[in-house]
Amino acid sequence: MALEVNLKDQTFQLHPSGACYWVEQDVILLADVHLGKSAHFRKHGMAVPSQADDKEFDKLNQVIEEFQPSRLWFLGDLFHSYKNAEWHFFEQWLQSQVIEIALVMGNHDVISRDSFERLGMKTYEALQMGDIFLTHHPEEVNGKYNIAGHIHPSVKLQGRGKQRLKLACFFCSEYGMILPAFGDFTGTYSLSPKKGNRIFAIVDREVVELS
């Protein structure tokens, strides 16, 4: 279940998949899918189990079906590395879409921009929509609210009985929001919240704000 929040006078629905639906712009924002990562690791001799294969296309379809947007923008690291078998599946998936798909380039996006644009998919270094500035790497830009990925943010919780739990999250500061990684096979990086931060953690199939 998505959680609706208001940030900088804009409405965002935060989805437990890690996607974010921006209501006013009718666009899904998501970051760090890292398609082909498990195949990339196997190619280099790492013992990655078969169940770690990328399943993100099903997740993408589910999110699109739920929100019915007119646009979907990937905020970087769509693919983990160079083209492999996953590229063929991506081509097929893209051809089945009727909405606008665009990519803000990330540090892992080493596949040429021409390759994406030949498929009818626009690519950008950054996107600006009013006071909202969309990038892959989080940035502090005066007068703008930055939405980005790259970090794969999570927070650590500890219970009274010393139980420990690490949860992926949407991490908000006065400068912007960092989206969790959309890809399942990505790992996370724990951030330490400071006063004024808002943390929206993914718990099972819900997004909840932590106090």
Higher-confidence residue: 81 or 172?
172
Q: Number of structural domains, the chain?
A: 1
Q: What is the pLDDT of residue 128?
A: 96
Helix, strand, coil shares of the chain as percentages rounded to 5? 20, 35, 45
Given a contact cutoff of 8 angstroms between Cβ atoms, the answer to whether 19 and 183 are in contact is no
Residue 98 has pLDDT above 90, yes or no: yes
Q: Report pTM.
A: 0.89
Q: pLDDT band at residue 184, thresholds of 50, 70 and 90?
A: confident
User: Where residue 107 sits, what CATH number does that domain have?
Assistant: 3.60.21
Which structural domain range is residue 166 located in?
3-210
Instruction: Determine the average pLDDT of the residues in 68-78.
Output: 97
Percent of the chain whose predicted confidence (pLDDT) is above 90: 73
Instruction: Determine the average pLDDT of the residues in 139-153.
Output: 96
Alpha-carbon distances of 131 from 8, 42, 62, 160, rounded to whole Å: 8, 42, 29, 41
Task: Count H helices and E strands in the chain, helices first.
Answer: 4, 16
Percent of the chain whose predicted confidence (pLDDT) is above 70: 86
Q: What is the pLDDT of residue 204?
A: 87
Higher-confidence residue: 101 or 56?
101
Higher-confidence residue: 203 or 184?
203
Q: What is the pLDDT of residue 42?
A: 44
Residue 52 has pLDDT above 80, yes or no: no
